[in-house]
Amino acid sequence: MTTTELRLELLWQLSNLNGVPGNEDAVRDFVLRELEGLADEVHVDALGNVIALRYGQGEGKRERVMLSAHMDEIGFLVSFIDDRGFLRVQALGGFDPRNLFARNVTVQTRGGPLPGVLTPGGRPVHLATPEDRKKVPELKEFFVDLGLPADEVRSRVRVGDMVTLDQKARQVGRLTVGKAMDDRASVFLGLEVLRHFREARPRHDVVAVFSVQEEVGLRGATVAAYGAAPTLGIGLDVTLAVDTPGVGPEEAVTRVGGGIGIKVFDSSMISTRWLVDELVDLAEREGIPYQLEVLPLGGTDGAAIQRTRSGVPSVTLSVPTRYIHTVVEAVHEDDLRAGVDLLVAYLR
């Protein structure tokens, strides 16, 4: 078993960047800087995906392996500005409203970022009825307060501006905790894997894709996979680690610290079985900790690769993550290391 050194400060930086579906610019710029010297070709396609190609060894026939991790995070767009200057928002991605009460947010405007507060409409606890206190508000009831006069809000904010939840990444024991670990943890994996092949080339051609608009329907990876025409696909994403109080062990899906997840099933794909078996056998030979993952609901870029053109054998590697789709998504350093080690061993 290897003991790969992880540059966790890079993951912190990725987590702190803002980029909802369709507005991944800051993340894309960061990824492009990090890719310098790591790939033979790098380009950005019409949808905004970053595509990095690292050629394999030799002149003979090689597989063309596509890795794909998405750059976007769940967030909001401004959908309406009312007469008092409060903003209504359109969700981009799957939110649980119970996690959205009284959150600091940032609205990215043409003139720069504006701080705000996201909260649902209604009475505060001092005035709430017993029925009010039991109610979980719907997303349509939330608004953003910018603390500015209505005319100034209307002059600075426009419909379609990006709204993101505020949270700085930090270390909590052996967990890295922050927003957008879904899927910046896997963007991190992709960059670390390419760094391993800076000097020695992989066995096969590697097309590393950092995709856009995954949270609204795997859109970037669908386009990128069609263009890349891979012969093998590996999606890189996070998965549920419900290994916390209040949930039975049969619902945990994975456990943090237990190793990288090798996906068997989710609601978007059934991984190609021989690829699952190859990765399991390799992990066991190399002493790399892994977990087999069955996720009842959810999807990854692996599904987009699998269904491109006439079909591509595909699997997804998943980083176990606590508190997914909140601002305290938590990943374990041992699982990140196992993901890098398994990918490097497979591509080597």
Q: Which H or E run contains 319?
A: strand 314-322
Active-site residue, selected from the candidate residues 24, 73, 214, 329: 214
How many whole angstroms separate alpha carbon 33 and alpha carbon 16? 16
Adjacent-strand bridge partners of 237: 318
Go through the chain and tell me how many residues it has: 348
Q: Beta-strand (E) ranges in the chain?
A: 41-44, 50-54, 64-70, 75-81, 87-92, 103-109, 112-120, 142-145, 162-165, 170-172, 175-178, 205-211, 232-240, 260-266, 269-270, 290-294, 314-322, 329-332
CA quadruple 268, 271, 272, 275: dihedral sign: positive
DSSP H helical ranges for 268-325:
273-286, 301-306
CA max distance for the chain: 74
Which string of DSSP letters, residue by residue, matches 108-171? EETTEEEEEEEEESS--TTT--HHHHHPPPPGGGEEEE-SS-HHHHHHH--TT-EEEE----EE
**Cis check: omega of the bond before 183, within 30 degrees of 0:** yes
**Are the C-beta atoms of 221 and 68 separated by less than 8 Å?**
yes
How many whole angstroms separate alpha carbon 343 and alpha carbon 337? 10
Q: Is 292 helix (H, G, I), strand (E, B) or coil?
A: strand
Q: Which residue is associated with the tokens 């054998």?
A: 313
Q: Which of 91, 191, 212, 202 is nearest to 141 (CA)?
A: 91
Active site residue 214: yes
The residues annotated with a catalytic role in the active site are 214
